[in-house]
Amino acid sequence: MSTAMTMKTAAQLRDTYLRREMFPTIFCDGCGIGNVLNYTLWAVDQLGLDLDRTVFVSGIGCSSRLSGYVRADGMHTTHGRALSFATGIKAANPDLTVIIFTGDGDGAGIGGNHLLHAIRRNMDLTVILVNNFTYGMTGGQAAPTTPTGSFSTTTPYGNVEHPLDICNLAKAIGAPYVARWPVSYPYQPIKSIAQGISKRGFALIEMLVPCPTAYGRRNGLKDLERIWQWYRDQVVLLDEHERIEQFGSPAERAALADKIKIGVFQDIERESFGERWSALVDRVKL
Ligand code: SF4
């Protein structure tokens, strides 16, 4: 993918794809969710998608407000149910491109069961899952992704649970495309979102996004520069992680313990639900 050569400016992107009447956005200062929308629209633009054939679906939460800002058909659905609605849209209209915005609470907590089964079916959907380690909009409760030891309104003495690794889960149950990036990496997410949309079958792109308001201020990361730097410090590329695990010193290996792996976790081919459904229709002459 060529990037800088063909990318629209932010103003061009705004004028082409956004509903100006919906502005200003609801996002707090220093929130990374707007960057996710930016990257998604750059990917949509680079693929030349027809917005009349593209649907944006979301559940409930801060990141789920994104579907309303795009000048395209969309559904802002119920909490945790974005994938159910998206599955119906895609099954009924296989020619549409369906992109889902969801959060870690919405997509992996309340909607976790729907996530599992959409991947199992290999629905041809692209899920952009915004992970801010918390239920931001609903009050800063602990989510399935909240790191061990983190403070939230439901873990005032520190979280004792282990966080869910969404990408490893999606990979294990066969999602054809799985990637994770922090929003502080601008180009890799655009490329991954474009690859995910182009992939037949289920694609999951997890975006690590700073939430200074609900997560940051309870965990010593209220300062905007500090929280964005923290996200840069927390991550390690998959290749680098593997290299250190194999060849690193004991100190380097010990330092990996708190790191979050980023990169493309899976990129495989697997027959999608739509392909198998079409074959069935042909066979039984439905
Ligand atoms: S509460 Fe957190 S995730 Fe929600 S808009 Fe504010 S900073 Fe962003």
In a domain, 39, yes or no: yes
**Mean pLDDT across 61-81:** 96
Backbone angles phi, psi at 17, to 5 degrees: -115, -15
pLDDT tens string 181-215: 999 998 999 999 999 999 999 999 999 999 999 99
Q: What is the extent of the structural domain holding 201? A: 10-219+264-281
In a domain, 244, yes or no: no
Note the pLDDT of residue 257: 87
Any atom of ligand 1 within 6 Å of the Cβ of 140: no
In a domain, 246, yes or no: no
In a domain, 241, yes or no: no
CATH number at residue 142: 3.40.50.970
Q: Look up the pTM and report it.
A: 0.95
pLDDT tens string 73-82: 999 999 999 9
In a domain, 82, yes or no: yes
Distance from C-alpha of 56 to C-alpha of 127, rounded to nearest angstrom: 10
Residue with the smallest CA separation from ligand 1 atom 8 is: 31
**Mean pLDDT across 43-71:** 97
In a domain, 242, yes or no: no
In a domain, 29, yes or no: yes
- Those residues with Cβ within 8 angstroms of residue 200's Cβ, 6 or more apart along the chain or in another chain: 124, 176, 269, 272, 275
Domain count, the chain: 1
Nearest alpha-carbon partner for 166 in 149, 143, 140: 143
Residue with the smallest CA separation from ligand 1 atom 1 is: 136
What are the tokens at 211? 């939430």
pLDDT tens string 213-271: 999 999 999 999 999 999 999 999 999 999 999 999 999 999 998 899 999 999 999 99
In a domain, 173, yes or no: yes
Strand ranges in 59-120 using DSSP code E only, listed in sequence order: 73-76, 97-103
